[in-house]
Chain A
Amino acid sequence: MSLLEVRNLSVDFATTSGSFRAVDGFDLTLNPGDITAIVGESGSGKSVAFLAMMGLLPWTATITSDAMTFDGHDLRAISPRERRKIVGKDMSMIFQEPMTSLNPCYTVGFQIKEALRIHLGMDRKARHARAVELFEQVGIPAAETRLSAFPHQMSGGMNQRVMIAMAIACKPKMLIADEPTTALDVTIQAQILELLKSLQEETGMALVLITHDMGVVAETAQQVSVQYAGQKCEQQEVTALFSRPHHPYTAALLAALPERATTKHLPTIPGVVPGQFDRPKGCLFSPRCSIATDLCGTTPPPVGGPEIGFARCHFPINVTAEQSA
């Protein structure tokens, strides 16, 4: 059985101007040791989908799904008490905004040791030793002394590293890393990504990397899932995705990479992601797609099979004869 199984997850937010669908039919299967990257335009529901699985969305969110299981637990029916035992231990998350997820009233050392006490029941000495070890692993210099610092006494990058240390403290079975390295320098970023990969190798942790950085994706992930306007539009193994994208949005995204530029002008994707009031009837990408037809504007495309990266498109691209057969 897989570690995580999510089928047809949707999240709607109640807003003053009506209901807004942030996640629309999200699917994901993770096995131990998998590294999956989630990429896509800002606001495409990447963070919300995983916050929904962790049970961390506000009451204004309505979550529906056909299946949502983690490590044998049904996340749809789980009691708050059971959930607290899992979240932060077996299933943990590095949040996009480190400052909002650290408690400003406690030292960072206290916060990380609390997690170790609650989830692993370690004694005082073991907690301290483990906390120092974790800080060193994530590249916090002078780890011993930093334990007694408050979040506001450290830089954004330093707090981000504290968050990472806390998230891996209990050796989770699944780690969701939401833009884990945006505030970090490339040299530290490289160190953190190495660390996450070594955890994956040693403990069989499954890793979900939510990121805008296609370089990080290319160097770290095995599978890549591409989100657009709340929907998954494609999922492929990393090398195949970079060389043969099947969804026009994926292709357009890759074409915009400066490293692929052949001229001073980069290819762009005209227009913007649809919002609450201009969601197209057919394919959500149709107003911006360079190969859209009338059909695309009226009829939502089906989800393709694994041979074409589950591309949600009427006219998937880079398809060979055998794939379409």
Chain B
Amino acid sequence: MSEPVLVAENLTQEYVLKGGLFGQDRIVRALTGASFALEPGKTLAVVGESGCGKSTLARVITMIEEPVAGSFVLDGTPAGPDTLAALRTTVQIVFQDPFGSLNPRQRCGQILEEPLIINAPEMPAAERTRRAREMLTLVGLRPEHYDRYPHMFSGGQRQRIAVGRALMLEPKVLVLDEPVSALDLSIQSQILNLLVDLQERLGLAYLFISHDLSVVKHIADDVIVMYLGRPVEIAPKADLFDHQRHPYTKALLSATPMADPTLRKQRIKLVGELPSPVNIPDGCPFAPRCWKAEARCRTERPELDQGTHRAACHFPE
């Protein structure tokens, strides 16, 4: 086992929703108590329903936002306002939308060079250009693409540019927030292959956010399942897909359609009020929808247990 390149301890993030004229401000508890470790060359996937805090975690780890509580260590250096500049290059992010995340008025080459201009202003222009051209090849584009604008590329090619831009500063951790969700199946496979290759060659660590469990099953080493801002199950991929200890994980897997018409599986139907991070129930946050809930679940909040396959449930399986 190598030293983790990212260790997160109890990360917590909240937002304030402004009330109306007479309304009260309300607090959105978007992320609560996220702790995990990520090793170089490994992929940690984060899954869960929309609004469960996946992108919030991504913004905290990439230092776009400062958490209200908790801490994390990147490549041996605790992250914080003082180390922001030093760590800027250690972690980078790729967003879901390959259309919105690239400036339409910049040429592909400029897009790739921009992070260097900002973070390494002393670098000579010729060196920047050389690196940008090298990056084009690395992410499977062609040297002549250097002068093209984003609209001249397909969705998959644009996502390659976005990955290339994130790699220009030679980060150790790459946060991928739904990197293939907007792409066609045929292009999705190209990008996933690219990520696999880059990880092998550069020893990158990925924090891979996705709601597509078949993609996660393919690419992840470990998986965090989140519910209402909290990790409820953390396990090596094989263990998690083999055996779900938390009822929510079980429900999530059973609801995910499988691309095999010969399989007919039993689906767990969740009933009960949909969750809201503004109004998180006391006790177990999943209790209002859980078919196994008992009195204790509604009063006492379950914590993640210890071991390699962890779950936060009073009655784990």
Contact = CB atoms under 8 A, between A and B. Distances in A.
Contacts of B46: none
Given A185-B211, A259-B214, A190 B255 contact: yes
Nearest to A156: B50
Contact of B273 (A141, A191, A193): A141
Contacts of B263: 218
Interface in A106-152: 139, 141
B251 A187 contact: yes
Contacts of A191: 269
B196 A264 contact: yes
Given A157-B50, A186-B252, A215-B256, A266 B192 contact: yes
A268 B189 contact: yes
A214 interface: yes
B3 interface: no
Contacts, number: 108
B85 interface: no
A269 B261 contact: no
A238 B252 CA distance: 24
Contacts of A139: 274
A238 B189 contact: no
A187 B192 CA distance: 25
Interface in A147-202: 155, 157, 183-187, 189-191, 193
Interface residues of A, number: 44
A196 to B, nearest CB: 13
A254 B214 CA distance: 13
Given A41-B184, A259-B217, A242 B256 contact: no
Nearest to A191: B269
Given A187-B251, A272-B154, A256 B262 contact: no
Contact of B257 (A41, A216, A243): A216
Interface residues of B, number: 38
Q: Which of A213, A243, A257 has the most CB of B within 10 A?
A: A257
A216 to B, nearest CB: 5
A212 interface: yes
Contacts of B269: 190-191
A39 to B, nearest CB: 9
A190 B267 contact: yes
Contacts of B184: 41-42, 212
Given A259-B214, A264-B196, 9 more contacts: A41-B184, A183-B50, A184-B50, A185-B211, A213-B257, A218-B257, A256-B185, A258-B188, A260-B259
Interface of B: 49-51, 154-156, 184-186, 188-190, 192-193, 196, 211, 213-215, 217-219, 251-252, 255-263, 267, 269-270, 273-274
26 contacts: A41-B184, A141-B274, A186-B255, A187-B255, A189-B257, A190-B255, A190-B267, A215-B214, A215-B259, A218-B258, A218-B260, A218-B263, A238-B261, A252-B186, A253-B186, A256-B185, A257-B259, A258-B192, A258-B214, A259-B214, A259-B218, A259-B258, A264-B196, A266-B218, A269-B186, A272-B154
Interface of A: 41-42, 139, 141, 155, 157, 183-187, 189-191, 193, 212-220, 238-239, 242-243, 252-254, 256-261, 264-269, 272
